[in-house]
């Protein structure tokens, strides 16, 4: 089972605020914590003391702290990749290598006596992970995580994200990606337009970002990149991540009837497997609601994303729920009862035939 996580940046905040945020995340079942040591300018002991306080508190909640580092930092802190005792003393669950070595070093690091996890960058698209695998690492201690991108338009494109993620999936390595909070105000760097892995996620609701990553089937763990996400966002993330079935938001039509609302929002919909290019069919609703009338109304022509219920004019199909996948003419037998919310329309492409899903009313 994958895990949810948050990011904290102790050098840009206070222990009290970090502690409160850790408590909040823990309340919603978040397990992972990302933090960065890339911005260190002071001496080793002071840094260790400040970070250790936060790390100890996270550990006391049963959370796992991953520390972002790079080769230059090893030199600065006078640490050897052969000796990870520094991170063990700090209480870190693992270290994330922002920039890698040659492959042999990473493989050796996974065989450290402390069981410290080594998390490597998933976003480069090179054969980096294949190279590490050729040196026989301990794969229990090798994880992958995508970068996050504070600069608008610099995030990963979807196809590149898939290409990179599949390289890690091939070896059954744990994968992680970041999502963006809209209530958070800071990250590790002064400039930030949000902090997400996928550029397409930057302006989406946090729950939608999570749903998308889950539906790709490529990502195990999902972390908020920026701090501090609000309680509402953390709850929305947990709900989306732990949902039994994926859900898609619907903007309902003004004249939707109570019966139609019940069909849409109380049913577990199942995407019929003998698929059509024009409609996604959820056929069982016509059986469950066969005693309802479904008179004709709002029988306008249909466009992609429209949510439909066949009306009384369609005989045995009366009460069947559909989602339009293309433009179609309406001959008066189909009620347009709503529309997939614009920001989640793209999720239709990730629902698979024979899969089950729910529709939820968009209250915004």
Nearest by Cα to 175 from 146, 136, 210: 146
Co-location of 138 and 280 in the same domain: no
Q: Whole-angstrom Cα distance, residue 232 to residue 198?
A: 22
- State residue 50's pLDDT score: 80
Q: Which of 224, 243, 262 lies at the terminal end of a domain, its last residue?
A: 243
Co-location of 186 and 93 in the same domain: yes
Greatest Cα pair distance, the chain, in angstroms, is 78
Co-location of 238 and 355 in the same domain: no
Q: Which of 218, 243, 268 lies at the terminal end of a domain, its last residue?
A: 243
- State residue 183's pLDDT score: 97
Co-location of 237 and 252 in the same domain: no
- State residue 191's pLDDT score: 83
Q: Whole-angstrom Cα distance, residue 338 to residue 308?
A: 7
Co-location of 32 and 148 in the same domain: yes
Query: Model confidence over 96-135: pLDDT tens digits?
Result: 998 888 899 999 999 999 999 999 999 999 999 999 999 9
Query: Model confidence over 301-347: pLDDT tens digits?
Result: 999 999 999 999 999 999 999 999 999 999 999 999 999 999 999 99
Q: Are 238 and 21 a contacting pair, CB within 8 Å?
A: no
- State residue 46's pLDDT score: 75
- CATH code of the domain in which 176 resides: 3.20.20.70
Q: Which two tokens stand for residue 227?
A: 């701090």
- State residue 106's pLDDT score: 95
**Number of structural domains, the chain?**
2
CB atoms under 10 Å from CB of 224, counted, come to: 29
Q: Whole-angstrom Cα distance, residue 25 to residue 3?
A: 12
- State residue 39's pLDDT score: 63
Find the mean pLDDT for residues 250-277: 97
DSSP for 338-351 reads EEE-GGGGGGGGGP
- CATH code of the domain in which 255 resides: 2.40.100.10
Average pLDDT value for the chain: 95
Report how far apart, in Å, the C-alpha atoms of 302 and of each of 37, 334, 342, 344 are: 53, 9, 15, 18
Give 49's contacts (C-beta < 8 A, 6+ positions apart): none
Co-location of 234 and 266 in the same domain: no
Structural domain span for residue 125: 4-243
pLDDT tier at 155, thresholds 50, 70, 90: very high
Q: Which two tokens stand for residue 353?
A: 């035939």
Residues 242, 247, 250: CA angle, nearest 5 degrees: 145
């Amino acid at each position: 089972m994958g895990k949810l996580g948050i990011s904290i940046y102790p050098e840009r905040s206070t222990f009290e605020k970090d502690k409160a945020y850790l408590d909040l995340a823990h309340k919603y079942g978040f397990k992972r914590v990302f933090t960065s040591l890339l911005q260190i300018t002071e001496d080793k002991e002071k840094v260790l003391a400040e970070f250790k306080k936060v790390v100890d508190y996270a550990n006391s909640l049963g959370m796992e702290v991953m520390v972002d580092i790079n080769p230059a930092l090893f030199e600065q802190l006078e640490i050897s990749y052969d000796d990870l005792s520094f991170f063990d003393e700090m209480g870190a669950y693992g270290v994330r290598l922002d920039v890698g070595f040659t492959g042999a070093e990473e493989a050796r690091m996974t065989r450290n006596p402390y069981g410290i996890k080594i998390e490597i960058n998933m976003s480069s698209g090179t054969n980096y992970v294949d190279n590490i695998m050729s040196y026989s690492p301990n794969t229990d201690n090798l994880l992958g995580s995508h970068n996050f991108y504070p600069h608008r338009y610099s995030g990963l494109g979807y196809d590149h994200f898939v290409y990179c993620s599949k390289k890690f999936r091939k070896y059954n390595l744990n994968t992680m990606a970041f999502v963006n909070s809209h209530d958070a105000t800071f990250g590790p760097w002064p400039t930030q337009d949000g902090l997400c892995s996928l550029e397409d996620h930057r302006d989406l609701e946090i729950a939608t970002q999570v749903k998308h990553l889950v539906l790709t089937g490529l990502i195990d763990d999902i972390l908020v990149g920026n701090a501090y996400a609000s309680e509402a966002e953390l709850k929305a993330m947990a709900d989306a991540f732990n949902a039994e079935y994926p859900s898609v938001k619907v903007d309902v039509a003004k004249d939707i009837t109570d019966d139609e609302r019940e069909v849409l929002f109380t049913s577990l919909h199942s995407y019929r497997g003998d698929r059509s290019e024009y409609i996604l069919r959820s056929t069982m609703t016509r059986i469950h609601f066969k005693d309802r009338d479904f008179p004709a109304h709002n029988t306008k022509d249909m466009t992609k994303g429209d949510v439909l219920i066949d009306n009384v004019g369609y005989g045995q199909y009366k009460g069947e729920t559909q989602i339009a996948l293309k433009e179609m003419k309406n001959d008066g037998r189909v009620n347009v009862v709503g529309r997939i919310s614009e920001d989640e329309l793209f999720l239709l492409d990730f629902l698979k035939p024979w899969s089950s899903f729910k529709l939820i009313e968009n209250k915004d």
